[in-house]
Amino acid sequence: MIKLPGLIDPHVHLREPGQTHKEDWDTGTSAALAGGVTMLLTMPNTKPPIFDAATLDLALDAAHPKAHCDYAQFLGAGPDNTDWDEHSGLPQRAAGLKMYLDSTFGQLRLDDMTLWQEHFKTWPGELPIVAHSESRSMAAIILMAAIYNRPVHIAHISLKEEVLLIKAARERGIKVTCEVCPHHLFLSKEDIPAISHGHPGRGEVRPRLATKEDVEALWANLDSIDCFATDHAPHTLAEKDGENPPPGFPGLETMLPLLLTAVDAGRLTLDDLILRMVTNPRRIFNLPEQPETWVEVDENTTYELHAADMHSRCGWTPFEGWKVKGQVTRVVLRGSESFKDGKILVEPGYGKNVRE
Ligand code: DOR
Ligand code: ZN
């Protein structure tokens, strides 16, 4: 048996408010515990999006009675909320500020770089900023971090050019950190046919699955990658297989077994894993310690990943049928046995908002 600290996932979409047929605070935080994640940070692209005091309350009021694990909620940067006031107390109640810089994400889209600058100027300096920015927009946001001399965290990097640029920026003292998702480490675009089973929507995710060369560059430059994050983005199979399939993969229940399998194969060490799933996210996002919290793993159990055994409401996984080695057997969160042998043992509402 291996005992790990409770894992922190800094990038999760739980769909509540607004799209609870995909996931809600109950099913999403259950999936987290089953995957060894005891604290998660949730993204603001819900319906409605979370971008001011009223919508933040909407998300937190939904979370409070339902969450099984600890959490904090991001605020989204939009075109109309660039005037953050640190004395209002609002930024401090959030996990951080999330900026969507190139893809279309409804009301949270920031087309114009003057809007990026406004957010950089008014969001309090000691609080985290996370950017969804790919390729050249990532280069642009790193320039802004340099100009304003403040840290920025790049979400889900997937390309060789991204990891190499981040490495070069850090060597010059720019305060940029980043995360990578398991699906960008274990899948390339060549795997799309196998994931799809004839339904191309199942291979859709943003950032897209990349080339084998990109995947190899991420592994080769793990030293420049601070965190592992799931980007857990649940959509139902009916949606993935229908017209206009939404991009996104679930990930909370597959991240740890996939990474433990890579540890078993000698691709990284347990220390590498703990650094990227506990120590670094806690530092980057200024998160509290969770006392009396740990994850027990049977490192010798080999089993297959099946969506039917999972807690997420979305009902599928791109890793269906994968053989993995290393199973979460028990999770203790703040002194309470929270998960054991496939069952969630803490009541909804046990989870705490770590920004309160
Ligand atoms: O694939 C994705 N799905 N990428 C994103 O950035 C958003 C996410 C979602 O919310 O479904
Ligand atoms: Zn995301």
Q: Ligand 1 centroid to 248 CA: how many Å?
A: 5
Q: What is the pLDDT of residues 208-256, one digit of tens each?
A: 999 999 999 999 999 999 999 999 999 999 999 999 999 999 999 999 9
Average pLDDT score over residue span 27-55: 98
Backbone angles phi, psi at 164, to 5 degrees: -70, -35
Q: Helices then strands (H, E): number in the chain?
A: 12, 14
Determine if ligand 1 sits within 6 Å of the CB of residue 18.
no
Give the mean pLDDT of the chain.
Answer: 97
The closest-lying atom of ligand 1 relative to the alpha carbon of residue 156 is: 6
Q: What is the pLDDT of residues 157-198, one digit of tens each?
A: 999 999 999 999 999 999 999 999 999 999 999 999 999 999
Contact status, residue 298 vs residue 26, Cβ threshold 8 Å: no
pTM above 0.95, yes or no: yes
Contact status, residue 132 vs residue 99, Cβ threshold 8 Å: yes
Residues lining ligand 2 (ion), CB within 5 A? 231
In this prediction, residue 107 carries a pLDDT of 77
Is residue 117 situated within a structural domain?
Answer: yes
Q: What is the pLDDT of residues 82-134, one digit of tens each?
A: 999 999 999 999 999 999 997 666 778 888 899 999 999 999 999 999 999 99
Determine if ligand 1 sits within 6 Å of the CB of residue 245.
no
Query: For 354, what's the count of Cα atoms within 13 Å in the CB-facing half-sphere?
Result: 25
Determine if ligand 1 sits within 6 Å of the CB of residue 240.
no
Q: Give the span between the Cα atoms of 38 and 186, in whole angstroms.
A: 23
Q: What is the pLDDT of residues 237-249, one digit of tens each?
A: 999 999 999 999 9
Determine if ligand 1 sits within 6 Å of the CB of residue 42.
no
Contact status, residue 314 vs residue 13, Cβ threshold 8 Å: no
Contact status, residue 239 vs residue 246, Cβ threshold 8 Å: yes
Is residue 306 situated within a structural domain?
Answer: no
Ligand showing the shortest atom-to-Cα distance for residue 45? 1
Is residue 334 situated within a structural domain?
Answer: no
Q: Give the span between the Cα atoms of 115 and 123, in whole angstroms.
A: 12
Contact status, residue 24 vs residue 53, Cβ threshold 8 Å: no
Residue 25 amino acid letter: W
Residue 14 amino acid letter: L
Backbone angles phi, psi at 275, to 5 degrees: -60, -45
Is residue 316 situated within a structural domain?
Answer: no
Determine if ligand 1 sits within 6 Å of the CB of residue 247.
yes
Ligand showing the shortest atom-to-Cα distance for residue 229? 2
Number of separate domains in the chain: 1
Residue 290 has which token pair?
């969770």
Q: Which of 239, 251, 245 is nearest to 200 (CA)?
A: 245
Contact status, residue 225 vs residue 180, Cβ threshold 8 Å: yes
Find the CATH number of the domain harbouring 180: 3.20.20.140
Q: Token pair 């994968």 is at which residue?
A: 322
Q: Give the span between the Cα atoms of 267 and 10, in whole angstroms.
A: 23
Ramachandran class of 244: left when φ > 0, alpha when ψ lies in -120 to 50, beta otherwise: left
Q: Ligand 1 centroid to 49 CA: how many Å?
A: 13
In this prediction, residue 105 carries a pLDDT of 65
Q: Give the span between the Cα atoms of 30 and 172, in whole angstroms.
A: 41
Backbone angles phi, psi at 90, to 5 degrees: -65, -50
**Domain housing 142:** 2-300
Q: Give the span between the Cα atoms of 232 and 249, in whole angstroms.
A: 6
Compute how many other C-beta atoms are within 10 angstroms of the C-beta atom of residue 338: 28
Q: Which of 208, 249, 178 is nearest to 13 (CA)?
A: 249
Is residue 310 situated within a structural domain?
Answer: no
Residue of the nearest CA to atom 3 in ligand 1?
Answer: 248
Is residue 38 situated within a structural domain?
Answer: yes
Q: Ligand 2 centroid to 235 CA: how many Å?
A: 12
In this prediction, residue 109 carries a pLDDT of 82
Ligand showing the shortest atom-to-Cα distance for residue 42? 2
Residue 25 has which token pair?
């605070």
Is residue 217 situated within a structural domain?
Answer: yes
Is residue 328 situated within a structural domain?
Answer: no
